[in-house]
């Protein structure tokens, strides 16, 4: 028993200094001592156009980023795993991890030079005579989409690479020798055997997108309000604290629900095998 004492400070630290305040704002969003139960802000959140649009936009863009990162991440992970040269493989993995470690403000700012009025894309399109004047590419859902894709692709690729490395090399070889074509190999061997990696990667990307702040703030601005930027606006511009708390709770519950769902899907996949 004596030994367990050394983890008490950690537990106290997390419970009192971190989890308690979060628990309290969640309680405060539905119950206040002076007023009793207060759900009017939740009703407001789901009925007001601004917040409803921001929420559905967050969900849609996050889903889109997840699907696209899976679609281009899976083949890339497969390519990386099949590289025979170990030092090349390790270099590629390092280059996948590198953006993940980079400051998100610097990462997102890079897109301003790509998508800005005098950025790469506009200047390229003008010099190819496809357009005559710069198009507004920034502060659009598309800009937020690409920013988030760059931000979270590494998480998808890393999850898939580790899932594929756990798959014995003999399995796809055996399937091939038994006459499986590329499509069969993909749908009957690779996907079912890497379900956990797919679900884990998708969960990380989706929840990351829902909660990301810098990218929607810099590339979307107030034209493309998302859940996170709306939350910040409520605390800094309109000073509507109770609404900010409600948005924070909606954000948290959404990520919890996604995590719960993915655990369910993952365990279904395992029990099937």
By beta-carbon proximity to other proteins, the closer residue of 86 and 273 is 86
Tokens of 48: 């007001």
Contact set for other proteins, span 53-72 (CB under 8 A): 72
Closest distance to other proteins from the beta carbon of 272 (Å): 25
Q: Return the residue of 61, 65, 96, 193 that touches other proteins, per CB under 8 A.
A: 96
146 part of the interface to other proteins, by CB under 8 A: yes
Residue number, 81 or 273, with CB nearest to other proteins: 81
Kindly identify the residues of this chain, within the stretch 12-31, that bind other proteins according to CB under 8 A: 13-15, 17-22, 24-25
Which position among 44, 104, 140, 266 is part of the footprint of other proteins (CB under 8 A)?
A: 104
- For other proteins (CB under 8 A), the number of binding residues is 86
* The only residue of 30, 38, 59, 93 in contact with other proteins, by rule CB under 8 A: 93
Residues from 123 through 142 that contact other proteins (CB under 8 A): 123
The answer to whether 167 contacts other proteins (rule: CB under 8 A) is no
By C-beta, is 178 or 272 nearer to other proteins?
178
Per CB under 8 A, which region of 39-47, 50-58, 95-103, 190-198 contacts other proteins? 95-103
Please identify, using beta-carbon distances, which residue of 6 and 273 lies nearer to other proteins.
6
Say whether residue 237 binds other proteins (CB under 8 A): no
């Amino acid at each position: 028993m004596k030994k367990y004492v050394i983890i008490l400070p950690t537990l106290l630290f997390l419970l009192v200094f971190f989890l308690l305040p979060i628990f309290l704002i969640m309680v405060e969003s539905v119950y206040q001592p002076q007023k009793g139960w207060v759900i009017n802000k939740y009703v407001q959140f789901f009925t007001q156009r601004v917040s409803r649009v921001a929420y559905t936009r967050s969900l849609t863009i996050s889903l889109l980023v997840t699907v696209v990162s899976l679609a281009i991440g899976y083949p890339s992970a497969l390519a990386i795993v099949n590289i025979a040269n170990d030092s090349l493989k390790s270099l590629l993995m390092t280059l996948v991890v590198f953006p993940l470690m980079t400051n998100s403000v610097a990462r997102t700012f890079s897109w301003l030079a790509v998508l800005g009025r005098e950025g790469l894309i506009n200047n390229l399109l003008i010099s190819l005579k496809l357009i005559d004047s710069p198009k507004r590419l920034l502060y659009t859902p598309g800009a937020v989409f690409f920013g988030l894709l760059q931000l979270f692709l590494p998480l998808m690729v890393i999850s898939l690479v580790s899932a594929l490395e756990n798959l014995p090399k003999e399995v796809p070889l055996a399937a091939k020798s038994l006459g499986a074509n590329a499509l069969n190999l993909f749908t009957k061997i690779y996907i079912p055997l890497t379900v956990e990696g797919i679900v884990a990667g998708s969960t990380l990307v989706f929840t990351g997108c829902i909660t990301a702040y810098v990218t929607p703030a810099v590339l979307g601005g107030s034209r493309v309000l998302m859940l996170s930027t709306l939350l910040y606006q409520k605390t800094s511009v309109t000073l509507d604290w109770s609404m900010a708390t409600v948005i924070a709770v909606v954000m948290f519950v959404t990520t919890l629900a996604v995590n719960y769902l993915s655990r369910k899907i993952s365990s279904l996949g395992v029990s099937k095998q």
